[in-house]
Structures are given as C-alpha cells and as structure tokens.
A and B are shown apart, each in its own frame.
Chain A
C-alpha cells in the first residue's frame, strides 16, 4: 500500500451510503438530501444519520409525506441548479411519484433541448427477504429501465454502493439508485435458515473514507469462470455466488451494477466465452429486466450459445408475507436452472 492510497475503514452498506452523501455534501454545496424522516432521525434505515447535524437543516431535511411532491420539488431544485438526492422511503412507495419521474425528470433535457436538466439521484431501498409483505419488498427496477431518460443503478456491496452513489450524484441525468435492503447489513446469500453474515468479513466491506467513484455503466465480473455466464445484480449476486460454490459450478458471475446504461461489452464477451447464459433477478418475471437481457444476449451471442438462455426470477405474484421464502429466487431455483442449462455440457 502506498502513501497515496486513501485510508479505508469497515462499513456496511448503510454506512457506505451515508459516507457517499457526506463526502458529496462536503465537496459540493449544491448537493441536498431530502425525504420522509431523513432529517433529524436520519432515515428509517439510518442511511442519512448525522447528516443534518453536520450539513444543516436547509441541506438535509424531512419532507411532507408525498412522493409526488418530493420528486416534483427535486426537479424544480434541479432546474435552479441544485443537485438533489431525494430518498423514497421504500421503493414500494415510489409509484405516486411516477408522473414526475417519467414525464418530467426523464424528459426535461430532451424537451427543452438541454436548457433544463434533472441532475437528481433518487435513492430508495428495494427488494425483499425481510418479511416486509407486499408493500416493503418490491423490485420495480424494470419500470424504470423501460423509461427513456433515467439511469438505473443497483449496488451489491458497500464499496460499490459508495462509489456508484457518488458517480450518480455527479451525473447530470436523473438516476434511480435502488439499494437492496436485504444486504444493508451483510451479503445475504439466500440460505435464509442459516445464520447470516455481516459485511465485516467481506473484502468489499472495506471502503475508502474519502471520495472515489465507481463509474456508471460498468459491470463487475465478481467471479471468473468458464462454464456459464450468470447476469445478476443486487442481493442476487451473493445468492448466485453461494449457489455456484455449493454446486461446484464454474460460473462467470457478472454483477451488472448499472442496468441503464448497460455494460453490454462485458456481457457479450462473457457469454461468447462460456456459451451459456443464466439471468437472475428477484423482480417478477414478465417484462422484467431479464427479458431485456435475454433479448440482447440472443441478438448478439446467438451463434455462441450452446443452450437456451434461462431466467430465474421472482414469481408473477405480489410479494407474499408468510410464503416469502417460497417466493424468493433462492439457491434451489437457481440450482435447478443451472442443472437445466448445463445438461448437455
């Protein structure tokens, strides 16, 4: 380690997000944080803890409970020249804000020919596995990847969460930043009835305390392999790693990190190498982001494929409460799909 390398410390994903916000607020006076309960209390998941005290009430504040209002106001602040980072308390509550996101934030640059932009980063915890029932568990990323004009980012580690969030905040386009809340405290691997790990032992839980970026639009190959390519993101990255370890599958696991814009080069190179492709997400199946990935792989890698592309997803039902683990695309579902895809290998 050289003297130039910035100091690092252990962080869980919440602390990493908090650190990203703190660093950006210190660097850029135009960055502001707002949302339900984010001010004095520091957010229901504590992601903004301490920020109001440090940066002041006019830069970190609670808002009325109106998601439509929160995003509409953020668009207006962006038009003034600020760089708002609104929080939507749960992704399940983002729907009242859809019009402001779809028709306004995503379209402002285009319709004003660049006169106005929406440099906003909408943070929101998403995903299930916490017994949150249907209104604290959803994965609506596919709704946003379908909108032209917003970027969609989903980290899977504390290190990436901080670096990606900083990149998203600096980005001049609106970004949806979905935080997989099941892995806020540790890299949950899908084995829900075994004790869960925390980030303290994971290499990506070692996070620089200062400024750094993880570029948007760049995937990470989190496990190199030859047998099959697994495309995944968020919580499912860890579930895929654990499943492959258990089954002894030499998979190449690609953590997409940014869904739009997508790192198509990394995907293409990997699938052409392995000849097989499994797509895994927790979100419902029909018209999910996996459908887009499947189409892209088919379009670009068809002559390299040795087996049909497989998708492992949540089922096309609302997220149940008590049958959560029957719903969750865990090691069994992934394992079955791997068996199918590797059948003739």
Chain B
C-alpha cells in the first residue's frame, strides 16, 4: 500500500530524555528560572471560576520582594505577633531537623529526612488552616506538627522507636501519626495520601461539616496514578480540599523534568482538571499563607478544590541515605534564586522594626537549647541503636481489631523463641 504521505524525507525519530541544567562540578546559574516580581500576580475573588484565572498556574504568587517588603494584592497583612510566631516555628523546625539529622549520623536511629529550605511550605500553610482542618502530609511536612504544637519529645520518641513511641516502634522514623492534631498517618508509599485527602473532604462535605482537608506531595510524586485519581475525584465532587505540590526541584536524584517540568508547571496540572490552580513562591511564607487562606476560603464556601504548586528548593539530600553532591551541583542550594525562607521572613520583620538580629540570634540559641533538652528527655526512653524497647508481643497488636487464632499462635511461638534463645530480647 503506497502511502500518500511518504516518510522518506523525514529525519528518523529520536527519544528525548530530560537532562538537568547542572551536574556535579558545574557552575550554577539559575538566571533561566523565570521569577516574576513580587506583587505582580492578581488575586481573584475566591468565588471566581477556575477557568477565569488559569494564568495564575503559570506565574508565581509572591508577596515578599527582594528588599523584604510585603507587596501586592496577596499580602495577607499579618500582625507582627503572627509573623513572629511563624518565624519561630520555621526556625524551630530547622533546629529540630538539624538535631535529628545529627542523631541519625550518631547511630541513634535508622533514618531521617530534613525539610531544609522548604520550611515555609508546611509552617505557613498550617498557620493559615484552622487547627481542626485535616492534613494528609507526605514525609516532609513535619512543620505541620511543629506548628500545631505537637510535643517535640513525642516526635523524637517516634524517631527513636523507643519505649515512649506512641506508634510502638512499628513505623520507620518520621512516619508520624497524630490524629488529635489533624495529622494523618504517613505512608512510605508515595502519593497514596492524595485520594485519601479527597475522600476525607468528600465525607466532610457529605456530612455537612465545616472542616476541610489539605494534602501535600512532592513534585516527583505527581507522576503516580494516585495523584491523577485524586484530581479527578476532587474536581468531580468539588471536594473541599487543598492539593499542595511541593516542587522542591528534586526527587531523590531525579530533577523535576522527570515529572514533566520541562514542558509546563505543576500548577498547570490543575487546568486540565478544571481545578483552581496557583503557583506560589514556596520560600515566601507570606505568599504560602495567603494562597492557603484563599484556597481554604474557596473550600469552605463550596467552591471546591485548589491545587497549589509551592516553588521551592530541597537544600539538603533526600534523606540520610543519599549524598546529593553525587547527582547535582553542590552550588545549587546557595544559588537558588528564591533565597532562604527563614532569612526572608526574618528580614521582613526586621524591616518592620518588629525584630532584630540580636533577638533572632537569641531565639536560635533558645530553640537549639529547647530541642537539645527535649532530645535528652526522649533519650531517657531509649534510642533505636540500643535494641528492642517495645514489649515483644506488641508486634502482633493492631494487625486486626481482634486477634485471630493464627496470630495468637504465632505470638506464642515468638515468645517461646525468646525463651529458647536463652537471652531476653526485650531489653530496657
């Protein structure tokens, strides 16, 4: 069969494989990252139709300008007290991460993950939500717990899988669960929380409740099918949910191009689903706060879901298990054009004459001491490196509400093994 469109003159096909701009050893220049001026993005009415502000999915909502002034229609006009609270929680999160990262390096636990450089994302969003709104986080939103006042010592107990660990040593460090603080049990499997958040929000709506849900995932995780199922359900049922994408540029060693960032923004995912989409300077606590408040208002007034891309940068390795200088230029974190979220909020407060460097240094010291003291408390309950802290038979609790015969048998077997081993496993 002769083709009417002969291909003989066409070049052969070629496979495009994304490649990040910088690899180890490369000098970093982020000039190509388009950063619109602060204050430029418009702020639509929360009742506006998502189709009428799709431009906001392609720009950046920014409030803090380069001089630390809060400008434009998204300025949430927060009180100095509120700004200081937010700054303190971000600094506390940083101090906590620093300390626990070091604890892992000292062999006190098996694993840790920092949120360095992305502190504004979880902390500012949590300040903008109501305390009883339900959060479905990924593993990098410990800032939610810190902002909601969850005891640091409880977090550390979990990290150490020790006697005090409310999760009975069952979960990997940092996979917290804190129902009383509106914090859903973290899964190790990426993006599973997304449709769950939508389901929670649908339930809240179906029951005529007033609470909304918020969820977070990394930009890399948007590739999972669960992300897309969640968007479809959220759009179809106008679920009162905030879908946050934390675009910190990296997913372990894979740059955001492997999740689609070479072609469009992550906020633009919203457009195809007919969901309201915002793209926000994730290192600007005021922008994150304002966007979250706006999205929450939409959700609370039955306008449906909002998807927010937080444009930020993962300044550390993925976790304690990797060395980022193996796959990206060591110059990246310092060259990131949106700066350090803690410093930016601090500079803003100083500009308002509501803060100063001395107070900031004193606060850092106070927070470091606080974390150290909490760590001491937690370590009284033991550290992972010192062996088994939970009563052995807790291993079988919680598989089912009521334990079936086969688990009872296996539990007895395990206890007999302990006796047979000739040494108690259940140390301290």
Contacts and interface: CB of A to CB of B under 8 A. Distances in A.
Given A95-B189, A135-B187, A327-B395, A321 B17 contact: no
A155 B326 CA distance: 29
Given A61-B17, A317-B399, A320-B395, A136 B259 contact: no
A132 B406 contact: no
A199 B322 CA distance: 23
Nearest to A333: B417
Interface residues of A, number: 44
A131 B395 CA distance: 15
Nearest to B187: A135
A89 to B, nearest CB: 9
A204 to B, nearest CB: 27
B298 to A, nearest CB: 28
A8 interface: no
Given A321-B110, A322-B388, A323-B395, A40 B169 contact: no
B175 A133 contact: yes
A336 B417 contact: yes
A152 B319 CA distance: 31
Contact of A332 (B225, B394, B420): B420
A316 B406 contact: yes
A36 B259 CA distance: 11
B112 to A, nearest CB: 12
Interface residues of B, number: 57
Interface string A323-339: 10111000011011000
A30 interface: no
A320 B169 contact: yes
Judged by DSSP, the binding face of A is: loop
B373 interface: no
A323 B392 contact: yes
A68 B225 CA distance: 7
A65 B253 CA distance: 12
B204 interface: no
B327 interface: yes
A69 B384 contact: no
A40 B220 CA distance: 16
A116 interface: no
Nearest to B254: A62
Contacts of B260: 64
B236 interface: no
B386 to A, nearest CB: 10
Contact of B390 (A41, A285, A318, A322): A322
A44 B252 contact: yes
Interface in B349-392: 384, 388-390, 392
B221 A322 contact: no
A315 interface: yes
Interface in A76-116: 92-93, 95-96
Contacts of B392: 323, 326
Contacts of A61: 17
A134 interface: yes
Interface string B406-424: 1100100110111011000
Given A62-B18, A63-B258, A92-B188, 18 more contacts: A40-B253, A41-B254, A62-B17, A64-B220, A65-B190, A65-B221, A65-B258, A66-B223, A66-B225, A68-B225, A96-B189, A96-B225, A133-B175, A315-B407, A322-B389, A323-B169, A327-B395, A332-B420
18 contacts: A36-B254, A37-B252, A61-B17, A64-B259, A65-B258, A96-B226, A134-B170, A135-B172, A136-B172, A315-B414, A316-B399, A317-B399, A318-B170, A322-B161, A323-B390, A326-B425, A332-B420, A335-B420
* 4 nearest A-B residue pairs (beta carbon): A135-B188, A322-B169, A133-B172, A41-B253
